[in-house]
């Protein structure tokens, strides 16, 4: 079996910087035409000038045979100004502003502490500039159970936000719960959407503990119950335009995952399209795969769909146990396992 589809984009990608960027970028550039690049570096990408500099370093690392285009983002802080939003839009290179609640995930310590109190004028300017807010949707209050943080965030932050600023475009990133599905589906189409990762489509929280602690299945937002996984699969395979591909591929050196306090993040760029195809095939919805991978994202962002094509062929292949680089090893998602679909250039 073979499918030919419009080249997909990745609407949520972590490329890191330095030698890690150079190591992982070819995996994304091989299959994706564009990617929304997350800004949570050290230091974070909080200004347009920093985004331009980061983009230049990405462009230098793109393989010569690739047409990959990075779409840059800013990291929202309590100190971000409306003028910075104007600069970002004017640059033509920044496509969204990322909201990290302070302490929510990797390198989020500089994130927002009070969205409505400190950032409302910035959000109003984002409406004026038609610049989307890209949301890591979890509260960070230690009194809230980690498995409930997305639900509570929706109730206390997102629902009030869309009521107060109904014209603000919002992407709820890497959704993990039936609550998030329900919220996105309740909002006005074209203003609120969601990215969905391979891990949250294929794994539930049991995958963290099968036969022992599984650090390479640890990500944030953390994997949830099976009932939530099923709700997300139903949503993305329904044909709804509100959901689109965002891998949240997040590479870490193996030593930073397999340690006493391991980093959150799953590296899935080499396997993402194979896994999305698996999900849609198992749901009997391969006819809806192309819209999810290649149409819904650019349509929401107001960008043209890619003109190039790729092939997805049903042919078993084994995922490497690890990917070795001079700085160390990265363990990919489903390491050592056999996948049924492979992505090929046309």
Confidence band, pLDDT 50/70/90 cuts, at residue 323: very high
> Which of 98, 216, 228, 252 is flagged as catalytic?
98
Q: Print the domain residue range for 218.
A: 2-345
271: phi then psi, degrees, rounded to nearest 5: -120, -5
CA distances from 127 to 86, 144, 157 (A): 11, 31, 17
Asked if 252 is an active-site residue, the reply is no
Asked if 12 is an active-site residue, the reply is yes
C-beta pairs of 304-309 under 8 Å, 24+ apart in sequence: 305/6, 306/6, 306/7, 306/8, 306/9, 306/33, 306/34, 307/6, 308/6, 308/7, 308/33, 308/67, 308/346, 309/4, 309/5, 309/6, 309/7, 309/346
Domain count within the chain: 1
Largest pairwise CA distance in the chain: 54
Residue-level pLDDT at 346: 74
| Residue range 174-215, pLDDT digits in tens | 999 999 999 999 999 999 999 999 999 999 999 999 999 999
Cβ burial of 342 (10 Å; 0-12, 13-18, 19+) is middle
Tokens 């396992």 correspond to 337
> Which of 27, 30, 151, 174 is flagged as catalytic?
174
| Residue range 207-266, pLDDT digits in tens | 999 999 999 999 999 999 999 999 999 999 999 999 999 999 999 999 999 999 999 999
> Which of 9, 12, 30, 179 is flagged as catalytic?
12
Residue-level pLDDT at 97: 98
> Which of 30, 89, 136, 228 is flagged as catalytic?
136
Residue-level pLDDT at 109: 83
| Residue range 98-135, pLDDT digits in tens | 999 987 777 778 899 999 999 999 999 999 999 999 99
Residue-level pLDDT at 20: 97
CATH number of 299's domain: 3.20.20.140
Residue ranges of alpha helices (H) inside the chain are: 18-31, 48-61, 82-91, 115-129, 149-153, 159-164, 178-186, 198-202, 226-236, 254-257, 272-282, 289-290, 296-301
Burial string for 1-32 (b: 16+ CB within 10 Å, else e) reads eebebbbbbbbbbbbbeeebbbbbbbbbbbbb
Distance CA 56, CA 28 (A): 17
Q: What percent of the chain has pLDDT over 70?
A: 100
> Which of 9, 10, 179, 248 is flagged as catalytic?
248
Asked if 90 is an active-site residue, the reply is no
């Amino acid at each position: 079996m073979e499918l030919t589809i419009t080249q997909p984009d990745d609407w949520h990608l972590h490329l890191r910087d330095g030698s890690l960027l150079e190591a992982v970028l070819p995996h994304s550039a091989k299959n994706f035409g564009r990617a929304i690049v997350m800004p949570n570096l050290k230091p974070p990408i909080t200004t347009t000038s920093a985004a331009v500099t980061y983009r230049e370093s990405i462009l230098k690392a793109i393989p010569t045979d690739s047409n990959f285009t990075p779409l840059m983002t800013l990291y929202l802080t309590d100190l971000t100004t409306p003028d910075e939003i104007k600069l970002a839009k004017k640059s033509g290179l920044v496509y969204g502003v990322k909201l990290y609640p302070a302490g929510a995930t990797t390198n989020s310590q500089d994130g927002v502490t009070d969205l409505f109190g400190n950032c409302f004028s910035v959000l109003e300017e984002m409406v004026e500039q038609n610049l989307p807010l890209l949301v890591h949707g979890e509260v960070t209050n230690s009194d809230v159970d980690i498995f409930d943080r997305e639900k509570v965030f929706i109730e206390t932050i997102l629902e009030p936000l869309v009521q107060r600023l109904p014209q603000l475009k919002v992407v709820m990133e890497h959704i993990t719960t039936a609550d998030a599905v329900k919220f996105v589906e309740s909002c006005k189409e074209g203003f609120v959407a969601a990215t969905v990762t391979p891990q949250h489509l294929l794994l539930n929280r049991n995958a963290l503990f099968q036969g022992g602690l599984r650090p390479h299945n640890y990500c944030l937002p953390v994997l949830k119950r099976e009932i939530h996984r099923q709700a997300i699969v139903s949503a993305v395979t329904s044909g709804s335009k509100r959901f689109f591909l965002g891998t949240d591929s997040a590479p870490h050196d193996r030593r930073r995952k397999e340690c006493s306090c391991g980093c959150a993040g799953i590296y899935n760029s080499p396997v993402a399209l194979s896994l999305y195809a698996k999900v849609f095939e198992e749901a009997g919805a391969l006819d809806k795969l192309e819209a999810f991978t290649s149409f819904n994202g650019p349509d929401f962002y107001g960008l043209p769909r890619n003109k190039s094509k790729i092939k997805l062929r049903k042919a078993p292949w084994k995922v490497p146990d690890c990917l070795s680089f001079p700085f160390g090893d990265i363990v990919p998602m489903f390491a050592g396992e056999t996948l049924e679909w492979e992505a090929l250039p046309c």
